[in-house]
Amino acid sequence: CSSDLFLDPTNTLLYPILPLTPVDYEEFGYPGDVEDFQAMRAYSPYDNIQKGVHYPSVLVTSSFNTR
């Protein structure tokens, strides 16, 4: 798996100039294909945020230190 969490595949995969995009087509599908696009939208966290739903609070941190 090239990524454990893909937040916005329907938009990110539209840009084949991004370094890993062509490799991701095999795993996630190609958004130019209608069936692939619909499948991506079904699992895309970004595209499935629902208005009026109370999601749990989340604290996200990050750094460049991989240790």
| Residue 3 pLDDT greater than 70, yes or no | no
Note the pLDDT of residue 24: 86
Take residue 30 and report the two structure tokens written for it: 């190609």
**Could you write out the DSSP letters of every residue in 23-54?**
HHHHHH--TTSHHHHHHHHHH-TGGG--TT--
H or E element in which residue 25 lies: helix 21-28
Instruction: Report the range of poorest mean pLDDT among 2-11, 18-27, 38-47, 54-63.
Output: 2-11
Query: Backbone dihedral region of 63: left (phi > 0), alpha (psi from -120 to 50 degrees) or beta?
Result: beta
Return the half-sphere exposure (C-beta side, CA atoms, 13 A cut-off) of residue 39.
11
Which tens digits make up the pLDDT trace of 44-67?
888 888 999 999 998 888 777 766
Note the pLDDT of residue 2: 43
| Residue 34 pLDDT greater than 80, yes or no | yes
